[in-house]
A = this chain, B = another copy of it.
């Protein structure tokens, strides 16, 4: 089959990768659409060691698996877990000590004609959700993870720092909680997408000190972190939603003196993400900036790293 291949931080398109054979408990999925995530870009920069097929945001059609799923469009949770380690039995399956992660850790991913995933990871896509929209299920679930970890409700003043792919989904999902939301970023056209959803927006420099109960850092850079830390009131919560290239240096004394809580946040629940898409309560398709066929996946990556670009999709069929 055709597949994008990452090796020594270099991407190349291969046509000689064997179609995977699903082991017991897994399904064979024919990928029809995949999205490029910042994590994919970071893989090419060597932030994580990974050799193989990248890609973890996808929609596919089950070709081999349970009868209830065969022929259906599905999305898939990316952590394949053992079910028996302390993390799994402790209810933290996404933290399984022996997990593989689709396109990220020891498991070939979605920029390919086919992938396999455990059957328990697959979720059928509701009929009324377009394939282009369903590709956003995984990052939307990651955005919803914030609400699994931090109680956010009406009356709370919440700041989202960063107007990129993740910041857009984080802001849209937080807006649904009834909190008093502000999103800040450096790109007028991206902020305009949020303003069109009724979200208050502005530049990072205009953020008041200690003016927010919760701040969500979605930039993955130390400047964004500093904006978020400064914005949170004493005993407030700072959610870290982005990974960071290298080490992060922070003012830990201010964190202690102001008794801040920092919460790292990663993968989230698929079911509510699919519900939001089915009910059209979030608008993800305006975030799509380009589509490329798998044959041009290298060009798709080149496009995705350009400044100001949001989501780039890869299509495996016309």
Contacts and interface: CB of A to CB of B under 8 A. Distances in A.
Nearest to A211: B86
Interface in A28-77: 47
Given A87-B233, A257-B264, A261-B262, A249 B251 contact: no
Nearest to A263: B261
One complex includes copies of this chain to the number of 2
A253 interface: yes
A266 B235 CA distance: 10
A7 interface: no
Interface residues of A, number: 37
Contacts of A230: none
A258 interface: yes
Contact of A264 (B87, B241, B248, B260): B260
A95 B263 contact: no
A202 interface: no
Given A95-B234, A233-B87, A252 B261 contact: no
Interface of A: 47, 86-87, 90, 92, 95, 97, 149, 210, 225, 233-235, 240-244, 247-253, 255-266
